[in-house]
Amino acid sequence: MTTEGKRILICDDDPAILRVLEVNLEVEGYDVLLAHHGEEAYEVAVAEHPDLIILDIMMPRLDGYQTCAKLKANEAIKHIPVVFLSAKAQQSDVDRGKSFGVDDYLTKPFDPMELLDVVERLLPS
C-alpha cells in the first residue's frame, strides 16, 4: 500500500505520546496532523478531512467518546475511520468505544507495529 498523501490526525493530551506516534507514522511516509484535545481534533478534522483519526479517550475539554460522537454526527467527515488508542483497557471500555462507532481500539502501552497494521488495514487504498 502506498502511504503517499495519506493524512492521519492524532489527538492525545500527552505530548510524549503525540511525538512517538508522529515519528512512527512519518517514518512510514504518512502526513501527520496533531491535536491536543478533542475540540481541536474536531476542528482539524472538519478543516483538513484526514484519511484516518487516532484518538485518546481521556482528554480535557472533549474526551475521546464525545469527540468520536461529534465526528460521526457530521455528514462531511463521518466516513473517516477512527481508532481509539487508550490506557482504558477493560473489555467494557473497548465495548463502549465500539458503541461510538470506532473502527478499532488499541491499548497503551501500544506496539508500534500493531498500530501500523491497523492503520494500513483501515486506510482507503
Question: What pLDDT digit, counting tens, does each position of 39-48 carry?
Answer: 999 999 999 9
With CA atoms as reference, report the closest residue to 124 among 24, 8, 18, 20: 8
Residue 35 lies in a domain: yes
Residue 67 lies in a domain: yes
Range of the domain at 55: 7-122
Judge whether residue 1 has pLDDT over 60. Answer: no
Residue 1 lies in a domain: no
Q: What is the CATH number of the domain that holds 23?
A: 3.40.50.2300
Model pLDDT, residue 124: 67
Total structural domains within the chain: 1
Question: What pLDDT digit, counting tens, does each position of 45-92 carry?
Answer: 999 999 999 999 999 889 999 999 999 999 999 999 999 999 888 889
Q: How far apart are CA 57 and CA 12, in angstroms?
A: 8
Judge whether residue 98 has pLDDT over 80. Answer: yes
